[in-house]
Structures are given as C-alpha cells and as structure tokens.
Amino acid sequence: MKRLAVLVSGGGSNLQALLDAIEGGGLPGAAIVLVLADRDCPALGRARASGIPTALVDRVKYVRNSDIFSDELLRRIDGASPVDLVVLAGFLSILKGAILGRFEDRIINVHPSLIPAFSGDGCWGIHVHERALASGVKVTGATVHLVDGVTDGGRILLQEAVPVLEGDSPASLQARVLEVEHRLVVQAARLFTESEE
C-alpha cells in the first residue's frame, strides 16, 4: 500500500479528486494517511468527512516560506510515517530545506497552466487565469510536476491543454482547467502508486 500525504490551502477539489479515485478503485494500492494544511480551509473539512487524519501548521505563525515552517510540515508528515508520496493539491506555500531532500522526486504539485507559461512567483490560483486571458493565449492547461527548490520549477510529469474560449472570464477558464487538474493529479499519483518498488 502506497501512503500519501496531501498538502492543501484551499477548497480541496484536487484532494477530493484523489479521495474519489481511491474510493472508486481508480487509484489502487494508495491510501491518503494525512491531509496537512497551512491555513484553516475547506479542504480540511473534506478530509474529516472521509475520516482522514488532518493537521494544520498555520503559515502566519512562521516567517513566510521559511525553512522552519517547512521543517514543521516535515515533522507532521513524519508523524504519519511511512509516507511514500507528498501531493501538493492547491497548496500555496513554498517548501524549503530538509523536506525537499527527504522526499526528493517524491513531491508532486499540480499547477493550473502549461508550465513554464504563467508560473513562478505571483502565479497562483485565479491570478494564473487572469494572466492567461490578459496575454491573449488561445490554449492554456494544467501541469503536474516534481517539486524542487524552485517555485513551479521541477521536472514536468504530465500536461494537458485546455482551450481558451471566446468570452471566457478568469472564473470560467479556471473551472475548465480545474477539471483537467483533477484528472492529472490522479494520473500522476498513479505513476507512483503503481510502480513496483
């Protein structure tokens, strides 16, 4: 059984996609053993509804995106040890320091654009789609990538294109991209949970 820790900051729809996949047999051999948030958020409620242990390490109690903050996240993940894969599902803080080494090539993040487009500092949540619309692109999409020390910088694992339609608002574009994110995050998790080791 591969054990997943899922890090969240928001609505938790990507977490829900993972929960539904496990429930529906779409992610065999996987179990979510911890949902860890950096702020109080609806995603924690989704975890509790599924009986999954949760933890909250409030980012405002730490120097923003500091090593000490990441070390506390790592301590909580170690509390659910062993953890085979860390999934950043709508997680908005930046990981630094020891956690990156401990989970090298075992932390994945879903980002709502075709990285490197509309990625990096300041490109998160709805702002990604505002920038895509402002730039006039006809195609955007979603990416799942490995997490290293660079924001949205790790090796790309999966991508899927999403058309930008006439009259799209940031919200309508986000909703269309989110549907793809939900499929890709499950597909990416499967890359790890179905591997033999």
Binding site for ligand GRF (CB under 6 A): 8, 10-15, 43, 89-90, 110, 112, 125, 174, 178, 181
Q: Are 135 and 99 in contact (CB under 8 A)?
A: no
Nearer to ligand GRF, 10 or 141 (CB): 10
Q: Are 174 and 112 in contact (CB under 8 A)?
A: yes
Distance in Å, CB of 171 to ligand GRF, minimum: 11
In angstroms, the CA 60 to CA 44 distance is: 17
Comparing CA positions, the residue from 124, 103, 99, 105 lying closest to residue 113 is 124
With CB atoms as reference, the residue minimizing the distance to ligand GRF is 90
Nearer to ligand GRF, 26 or 125 (CB): 125
Whether 111 is catalytic: yes
In angstroms, the CA 65 to CA 82 distance is: 25
Q: Which of 111, 129, 145, 182 is catalytic?
A: 111
Nearer to ligand GRF, 33 or 89 (CB): 89
The residues carrying an active-site annotation are 111
